[in-house]
Structure 1
Amino acid sequence: MPRPVNGGARRPAGGTADDLRRNNLATLLTLVHRGGGLSRAELTRRTGLNRSTVGVCLAELVGLGLVVEGRPAASPGKGRPSAVITPSSSTVAVTVNPEVDAITVGLVSLGGQVIERWRIETAADLTAKKVVARSAAAINGLLTGRTLDVVGIGVAVPGQVRLSDGHVRDATHLRWQEEPLAAELGSATGLPVKAANAALLGMFGEVAFGAGRGVDDLVYLIGGASGIGGGVVSGGEVITGVSGYAGELGHTFVRTGGLACHCGATGCLEAEVTQQALLDAVALPAHQAERLDEALAAAGEDPEVLALVRHDLDLLGIAVRNAVNVFNPAMVVLGGFLASLYRNRPAGTDLGQDAIRADREALTVTTAELGPDQLLIGTAELAFADLLADPAADRAALRPAT
């Protein structure tokens, strides 16, 4: 899992001229990717490199087809306007997100722009082999007829995934254990595949392009059809744990004598607070979950809906309090149906109010900015990681879509 790049500071240089060149290319491409249209002058200022070096590196990135140099931006001051550099829209990553009710397959370009997404409805018995077969067919359909350079596939799994090889250890909602998902999808598509925990990837999207941009210490919680997950950034680094399983905030204990959880424990946040219960309360089908915000707002003061919202927020508040006390973040970001809950909270609700006073003094609780795109964009970041780390690597690794 790559480290979030919030500041755009120059990366440590290697020991040779080629190492230095590659580091400079990586720094510039990452800045353009995360920053959208940036002028040469702005890139020079942010990197601390001289104008000549920036010019040479940008020419190489243009030659590699990774950035585009557009018309100079209008300048309010004196001197010649500086050209604007934008990420190439033809360099893309494919994303796959299996859930208990559907597989979402997407196409995301450099710059975090979602080109297209397909939702494939599924039955309850969604095996890993079925995900591979249906995803491979959808990917072929997405790419056919497009002129694109495909860096690879990122897979967001609602479960514990070994980051080193994308092997799914446990995805309890899907009833998976020890599934070599990344390897099998790679064999089926001929593309490089990486996989990670879905919540971790949703967080990475928000750190790179959304509410967490520029925030070095945050806690992220997201709720979806397959439960609640989370992640933590501390000191600008994603906390992954020894094998990539850190951040299971959905399994925070919130209720004594509570409901049985898929993990085997009782009283976990994700067992007590569910998307399905909220959808049922406002009579929304699963495929319309993105309308939960408006449905909760429309329910207004309906006593049953209001009671469920208060119940869920009380338990979510316990999880937030524990996370704030443990990690002392500057921000808590809520995504998925948890964002809908928070945006429809009763007046006076403060999820951080029970945390230790010193821990909550600098705390902001907010909702994800990327909405339904956060998982696609964050999962694409996983697929783009190697390219961003070394743009000068063999471009033959990119597969042209046909």
Structure 2
Amino acid sequence: MSLRKINVRNFTLATRSTSREINRQILLNMVREHQPISRADLSRRLNISRGRVTALVNELLEEGAIYEGATVDTARGRKPQMLHIRTRDRLVVAADVRFSRTWVMLSDFAGTQIAVESFPTRVNPDELVAELAAATERLLRTYGGDGDCEGFGLVVPGMVDQRNGRILNSPQLGWRDVDIRDALSKATGIRVQVENAPIACALAQMWLGQRGGDMGDFVYVTVGDGVGAGVVVNGQVVRGYGHTAGEFGHVPLNPLGPRCLCGASGCWEAHTSNLATLSRYLGRELTQADTREVLDETSLTMDELITRARTGDAAALEALDETGRYLGRGLAMIVNALNPARIFIGGEITAGWDLVEKWVRAEIAERALTTAAAATPIIPEQTVSNPRLRGAIALVAAPVFAAPQVA
């Protein structure tokens, strides 16, 4: 899926020699951006006749993509009936698989949470599919009502080949070349889309963000159990030749640094992830097996670590300071390599952004090659917005609104 976003502020309508589907998608996105909106307003914004608008609207109404809401008063003439995107009775199952825990959420098509549950992550693919299928059945049976489930969005840590849905490499789960998509689809009877976390979060930023969301170049960096980046250029995700672009987390910052879950040493992820921060606080370098065992024993989380730092725990504050420095060094690498208009940060570290921002900014300022690059906006997304689960929703919702492929 290329999922190129239509810019409703700068578009060219299709002519008779091009696809009618383009016009339908432009109108659909215009409704999405400006709802509630009347046919007359659509005609003015698109600069086409009311007749052409009516024909396109009727098609979308028949398909159930939009619906007619209330009429509104006007100074003269007939009261227009306002148009909206149909979302409430269109359901999405979203799942976020992480190193130690997996979350499953039922939402509507607009990304509004209906219900959520979680369970310890099963690293065996068959066991994970069984747990996900059981959670899906419970959520739909209990909270689904009469809604239609439009799809299942699955976010995983690691590299995903969008051509076949296979997980090419997930160091956190210990997976290589695993096909979970088809097995999950068979178990749930729902079409499944799989994506890695940073790309999913970038898609959520484009498709489920505020009106007039970012259309240009940006990077979404996830800092969780792992570290990765979703790169967006000209409103489209960059995937790379082998669908593995954006793995900045496995670029080494220090070849003599701690061992990364990928097997190399000194990766950006090994210095910056939640696991790295917690390991630093605990005063030990943890292997993958050690980390699971220690976290289970201590129940220590990033939220708890940040709370300890705020209440005077010097070791917790020092661990966060060091994470901030390494985070800034990696972001400087992205700034110099890609020169994005802005960088979004998602993950538990954002709850302590006021504690780490000065270190992040200092490292970027020291390493950026130009003054303008050093001033690149760094925007933290709070964890309460569930960016990874919203990314999973976007995997299902975005294709409905994306620009059609034109040969």
Q: TM-score, normalised by structure 2?
A: 0.82
Instruction: Report how far residue 273 of structure 1 moved.
Output: 1.9
Is residue 2:234 matched to residue 1:230? no
User: Residues of 1 paired with 2:78 and 2:56: CA distance?
Assistant: 20
User: Residues of 1 paired with 2:357 and 2:237: CA distance?
Assistant: 32
Give secondary structure in 1 for the equivalent of 2:269: helix
User: Residues of 2 paired with 1:36 and 1:103: CA distance?
Assistant: 34
Q: Determine if contact 2:204/2:394 at 8 Å carries over to the other structure.
A: yes
Instruction: Report how far residue 260 of structure 1 moved.
Output: 0.9
Please give the root-mean-square deviation of Cα atoms over the aligned residues, in Å.
3.3
**Structure 2 gap segments, 5+ residues each:** 283-293
User: Residues of 1 paired with 2:354 and 2:32: CA distance?
Assistant: 30
Instruction: Tell me what 1:313 maps to.
Output: 324
Instruction: Tell me what 1:303 maps to.
Output: 314
Instruction: Report how far residue 222 of structure 1 moved.
Output: 0.8
Instruction: Report how far residue 69 of structure 1 moved.
Output: 2.2
Instruction: Tell me what 1:87 maps to.
Output: 85
Q: Determine if contact 1:220/1:230 at 8 Å carries over to the other structure.
A: yes
Q: 1:118/1:2 Cα in 2 relative to 1: closer, same or farther (>3 Å)?
A: farther
User: Residues of 1 paired with 2:301 and 2:78: CA distance?
Assistant: 50
What amino acid is the match of 2:393? A
User: Residues of 1 paired with 2:375 and 2:45: CA distance?
Assistant: 27
Instruction: Tell me what 1:340 maps to.
Output: 351
Instruction: Report how far residue 52 of structure 1 moved.
Output: 3.1
User: Residues of 1 paired with 2:82 and 2:324: CA distance?
Assistant: 45
Instruction: Tell me what 1:382 maps to.
Output: 395
Instruction: Tell me what 2:208 maps to.
Output: 209
User: Residues of 1 paired with 2:127 and 2:12: CA distance?
Assistant: 42
User: Residues of 2 paired with 1:141 and 1:317: CA distance?
Assistant: 42
User: Residues of 2 paired with 1:224 and 1:204: CA distance?
Assistant: 18
Instruction: Report how far residue 301 of structure 1 moved.
Output: 4.6
Q: 1:179/1:306 Cα in 2 relative to 1: closer, same or farther (>3 Å)?
A: same
Find the partner of 2:341 among 322, 325, 330: 330
Instruction: Report how far residue 61 of structure 1 moved.
Output: 2.2
Instruction: Tell me what 1:357 maps to.
Output: 370
What amino acid is the match of 1:368? E
Instruction: Report how far residue 216 of structure 1 moved.
Output: 0.8
User: Residues of 2 paired with 1:371 and 1:310: CA distance?
Assistant: 23
- Range that drifts further, 363-372 or 252-261: 363-372
- How many residue pairs match? The answer is 384
Question: Which deviations, in whole Å up to 9, do the C-alpha atoms of 1:304-340 show, x marking residues without a partner?
Answer: 2221121011111111111000111110110012423
- Range that drifts further, 337-346 or 215-224: 337-346
Q: 1:346/1:58 Cα in 2 relative to 1: closer, same or farther (>3 Å)?
A: closer
Give secondary structure in 2 for the equivalent of 1:29: helix
User: Residues of 2 paired with 1:6 and 1:103: CA distance?
Assistant: 33
**Structure 1 gap segments, 5+ residues each:** 392-402
Find the partner of 1:135 among 132, 150, 153: 132
Instruction: Report how far residue 81 of structure 1 moved.
Output: 6.7
Instruction: Tell me what 1:219 maps to.
Output: 219
Q: Determine if contact 2:228/2:248 at 8 Å carries over to the other structure.
A: yes
User: Residues of 2 paired with 1:196 and 1:50: CA distance?
Assistant: 40
User: Residues of 1 paired with 2:199 and 2:325: CA distance?
Assistant: 24
Q: Determine if contact 2:105/2:117 at 8 Å carries over to the other structure.
A: yes
Question: Which deviations, in whole Å up to 9, do the C-alpha atoms of 1:118-159 show, x marking residues without a partner?
Answer: 21234xx52111111111111111212521122221211101
Q: 1:277/1:263 Cα in 2 relative to 1: closer, same or farther (>3 Å)?
A: closer
Question: Which deviations, in whole Å up to 9, do the C-alpha atoms of 1:369-394 show, x marking residues without a partner?
Answer: 67442222222222234433599xxx
Q: Determine if contact 1:334/1:367 at 8 Å carries over to the other structure.
A: yes
Give secondary structure in 2 for the equivalent of 1:305: helix
Give secondary structure in 2 for the equivalent of 1:271: helix
Instruction: Report how far residue 172 of structure 1 moved.
Output: 1.3
Instruction: Tell me what 1:243 maps to.
Output: 242
Instruction: Report how far residue 46 of structure 1 moved.
Output: 4.6
Instruction: Report how far residue 37 of structure 1 moved.
Output: 4.1
Is residue 2:282 matched to residue 1:271? no
- Please list, as runs of the form range in 1=range in 2, the aligned pairs for 1:60-79 lying within 5 A after superposition: 60-72=59-71
Give secondary structure in 2 for the equivalent of 1:266: coil
What amino acid is the match of 1:319? G
Instruction: Report how far residue 241 of structure 1 moved.
Output: 0.5
Give secondary structure in 2 for the equivalent of 1:344: helix
User: Residues of 2 paired with 1:176 and 1:61: CA distance?
Assistant: 42
Q: 1:209/1:257 Cα in 2 relative to 1: closer, same or farther (>3 Å)?
A: same
User: Residues of 2 paired with 1:388 and 1:290: CA distance?
Assistant: 36
Instruction: Tell me what 1:107 maps to.
Output: 106
- Please list, as runs of the form range in 1=range in 2, the aligned pairs for 1:252-271 lying within 5 A after superposition: 252-271=251-270
User: Residues of 1 paired with 2:27 and 2:299: CA distance?
Assistant: 40
What amino acid is the match of 2:117? W
Q: Determine if contact 2:305/2:316 at 8 Å carries over to the other structure.
A: no
User: Residues of 2 paired with 1:178 and 1:28: CA distance?
Assistant: 40
Instruction: Tell me what 1:395 maps to.
Output: none
Is residue 2:15 matched to residue 1:3? no
- Range that drifts further, 81-90 or 322-331: 81-90
Instruction: Report how far residue 94 of structure 1 moved.
Output: 1.8
Q: Determine if contact 1:33/1:110 at 8 Å carries over to the other structure.
A: no
Q: TM-score, normalised by structure 1?
A: 0.83
Instruction: Tell me what 1:98 maps to.
Output: 97
User: Residues of 1 paired with 2:64 and 2:70: CA distance?
Assistant: 17
- Range that drifts further, 362-371 or 257-266: 362-371
Give secondary structure in 1 for the equivalent of 2:115: strand
Question: Which deviations, in whole Å up to 9, do the C-alpha atoms of 1:238-291 show, x marking residues without a partner?
Answer: 111123211112113222410111222111111112314556859998989584
